[in-house]
Structure 1
């Protein structure tokens, strides 16, 4: 039996994408979770894990004094707990959890869930973050990347090198039992959906521009939006909803019912993704996808087979691909959905990731 500490920045992602791993780990190990309290913590405890609150973790803060306090808090809990291995997810737990693990000489496994804007965008912040990551990853037992581009980025900038142990895994994968194939809608009317936090980098502007154009030309087509809305877009969504250009549903918990209703998922993101979970879920549900040609998205779509690829920040290209989809007959759309399911079964089953972690943890002595 090992004592395992998992450090993460929020409860939502940990429960939604890693509950299968936690369930397996708690069978024969003592598992502790160090993260800020949230509504899913009780569900994680019900899986058999123990919870340690981390009130100092601010996901987007850049105050160095607060980040130092966070690292010291990590170190304090690691020294007290004396885990056999530490698992970290997302930038701050990876960096400051990595520092604390190194200081305490505890083996640690890192998951780079995406670069984030601090690393993707050129400038002084990128240089500082790169250096911090290099120090944090130096002694990691294993570094898991969710796509090839993220791994290449860190190799090219010498954040990691051949002395590190690293590997690409298929994102967080998708639970194929939880997201089962839904019968494809038989009506000719096409319903598109945007499922994401509503923010500029997720491609909401391109989606709205395409919706305006398509609704004029194909008025029976529906454009749905699901997700938390950042303030700057609330007025725009309310206006377009009132004009019946879009249907905005806000936050929805039951995503299976969403995928059941729609004909195709549109994800025009240009955000630094690790691997897009909404694309995986939609494909697992047997729905075609339209998404951008960028890391974390391009791996999931085979252009013309289970969906279409569009250029980043290109409303015209997105509109063209939507029209292309509309010109398919019902049988062709359904065939795309079948191909989507087969692809995730073949390449993105979450059990692949669970097995990788179990093997790495077992190898730590």
Structure 2
């Protein structure tokens, strides 16, 4: 890096995301001598980004919406920010940022490094909005200078759709796990087997199958099993679980809903197994990486991004997407094990995360990409 301090922009559709998923990346970039501008909608985490040493710039992003006027405004606002700040390289996270920040940056000759963290329903749905989004993805990603993928499926998908074929790319192990924060924490051996699912409360994440499996296993094992949910409820998404629906499950006694938490490690520590029966196109789910780092067995689906976190039978079980029976059978296997067998699977999870998903691998690749540009 030359003597002039380079300014790096880092963008996402919430400040919450930047703080919770990219905090250590931001700190490492600052440590390298770069100045960092965090560009995201203002929320409770914007101040925390400033405390890390970022300059914070607010931008309006309608992350779940499909209104073209709003999206055009987002693009124009990115353009205004880039025109009036001497940013050298911008790191984009989350879908709309990958599109509109890249296009705006290109207009003012700022380089872009994009992160494809799962493509959701974008390449599955044949809705008009998805078709438009695919066109925008194809056009915008060809303007990027570097693209990081979180799994090989997404990289192959870009290739098959001939998206950004001439752009340099690399694969990251998801967003990685902070192995110093997420340490091995065995569950207590008190006769109750506890499961936890951490995600935005979307049916696409397999919440419905989890609840049905919980219902079946509660009727079989009674109070010797417990099923917990943690994550944002009633989000702006067509697949969202409503408050009324959640309350009904809680009242029925099938589910314990924990709300949201900034201290997820305290919640993960208490449980015997982490579950994510998602059939959404994931990047690599952070909740599974963090639970694995804490020495928890994992039950997840044979689905893009999820299957990377489990070697079936070694550190957990892989079940069929959308199949309540397959999920119930996998959870039943966990319940039927002895406490020490579950701990053994959990230690296998820790070793897998250490070897393949250490956040330091991710940070090192980002610094290399930045310095290469």
Tell me which interval the TM-score lies in, with the shorter structure as reference length: over 0.9
The SS at the match of 2:308 is coil
Q: Secondary structure at the match of 1:6?
A: strand
Which moved further from structure 2: 121-130 or 40-49?
121-130
**Is 1:159 matched up with 2:153?**
no
TM-score (ref. length: structure 2) = 0.94
Q: Are 1:225 and 2:241 counterparts?
A: no
Cross-structure match for 1:266: 275
Q: Map 1:142-291 onto structure 2 (within 5 A).
A: 142-161=146-165, 163-219=166-222, 220-230=224-234, 232-291=241-300
TM-fit CA distance, 1:184:
3.5
For 1:59-98, list aligned pairs within 5 A: 59-98=63-102
Report how far residue 26 of structure 1 moved.
1.6
- Which runs of no fewer than 5 residues in structure 1 stay unpaired? none
Deviations 1:129-176 (A, max 9, x none): 222112211132210011111111111011121x22111101100111
What residue number does 1:297 align with?
306
Work out which of the residue numbers 322, 330, 337 in structure 2 matches 1:321: 330
Confirm or deny: 8 A CA contact 1:131 1:159 kept in the other structure: no
Q: 2:315 aligns with which of 289, 292, 306?
A: 306
Q: Is the 8 A contact 1:70 1:96 kept in 2?
A: yes
Greater shift, 342-351 or 245-254, is seen at 245-254
- Partners of 1:105 and 1:240 lie apart in 2 by 52
- Residue 81 of structure 2 is aligned to residue 99 of structure 1: no
| Cα distance change, pair 64–241 in 1 and its aligned pair in 2 (3 A) | closer
C-alpha deviation, 1:79, in angstroms: 1.2
- Cα distance in 2 for partners of 1:116, 1:320 equals 26
TM-score by length of 1: 0.96
Cα distance, 1:139–1:245 mapped onto 2, change above 3 Å: closer
SS in 2 for 1:158: coil
Report deviation, 1:17.
Answer: 1.1
In the alignment, what sits opposite 1:51?
56
Partner of 2:237: none
> Secondary structure of 2:348's match?
helix
Structure-1 residue corresponding to 2:358: 349
Partner residue in 2 for 1:29? 34
Q: Give the 3-state SS of the residue equivalent to 1:206 in structure 2.
A: helix
- CA offset at residue 182 of structure 1? 0.5
Contact 1:301–1:308 at 8 Å: present in 2 too?
yes
**Count of aligned pairs:** 362
Q: CA deviation at 1:30?
A: 1.4
Q: Which segment is superposed worse, 264-273 or 243-252? A: 243-252
**SS class of match (2:190):** coil
Residue aligned with 2:115, SS:
strand
Secondary structure of 1:183's aligned partner: coil
Indicate yes or no: 2:144 matched with 1:140: yes
* Alpha-carbon distance between aligned partners in 2 of 1:199 and 1:135, rounded to the nearest angstrom: 29
Identify unmatched segments of 5+ residues in structure 2: 235-239
Q: Deviations over 1:234-283 (max 9, x none)?
A: 33432332332222222233211111110101111112211101101110
Contact 1:268 1:313 (8 Å CA) reproduced:
yes
Aligned counterparts of 1:47 and 1:232: Cα–Cα separation in 2: 34
Assess if the C-alpha contact under 8 Å between 2:295 and 2:350 holds in 1: yes
